[in-house]
């Protein structure tokens, strides 16, 4: 049992290899799917290339060694690296940077019948 989360990590394209190495070293790479994207900067002057990593159904506790390794990397440069973890109850419980510019948080309702 435990509390599961959906996690998004967003890094610039030139940092993709470094994050891949980190995720592989802590055996988390198999949980993340990657998507490449082009995003305009805040002044709409140039496009920036980012990689969006998304994993579903992870136990994302900051005191876990693997999770703290990722958080440390992401926190080193919050202006260029962004992350969010949304729990199974829809609550955002871990975030850094401006993740809202790169991923959308949605909620779906379905009948219980």
Residue 112 has pLDDT above 80, yes or no: no
Percent above pLDDT 70 for the chain = 88
Contact 103, 84 (CB under 8 A): yes
What kind of fold does domain 5-101 have according to CATH?
Answer: Alpha-Beta Plaits (3.30.70)
Neighbours of 32 (CB within 10 A): 19
If you average pLDDT over residues 15-42, what whole number do you get? 90
Antiparallel, parallel or unpaired: β 5-12 and 82-87: antiparallel
Report pLDDT digits (tens) over 31-68.
999 998 777 665 666 678 899 999 999 999 999 999 99
Contact 7, 54 (CB under 8 A): yes
If you average pLDDT over residues 10-29, what whole number do you get? 96
- Among 52, 22, 55, 50, smallest CA distance to 38 is for 50
Q: How far apart are the first and last CA of the chain?
A: 25
If you average pLDDT over residues 62-75, what whole number do you get? 97
Give the angle subtended at the CA of 18 by the CAs of 72 and 92, to the nearest 5°: 40
Cα–Cα distance for residue pair 67/81, rounded to 1 Å: 15
The total number of residues written for the chain in this structure: 113
CA-based R_g, the chain, Å: 15
Domain boundaries, the chain: 5-101
The residue that leads in pLDDT, 21 or 105, is 21
């Amino acid at each position: 049992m435990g509390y599961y989360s959906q996690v998004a990590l967003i890094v610039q394209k030139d940092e993709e290899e470094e994050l891949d190495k980190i995720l592989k070293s802590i055996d988390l790479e198999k949980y993340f799917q990657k998507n490449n994207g082009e995003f305009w900067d805040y002044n709409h002057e140039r496009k920036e290339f980012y990689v969006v990593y998304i994993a579903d159904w992870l136990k994302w506790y900051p005191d876990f060694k693997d999770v703290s390794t990722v958080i440390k990397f992401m926190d080193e440069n919050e202006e260029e690296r962004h992350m969010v973890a949304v729990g199974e109850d829809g609550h955002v419980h871990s975030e850094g940077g401006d993740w809202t510019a790169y991923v959308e948080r949605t909620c779906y309702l379905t009948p219980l019948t």
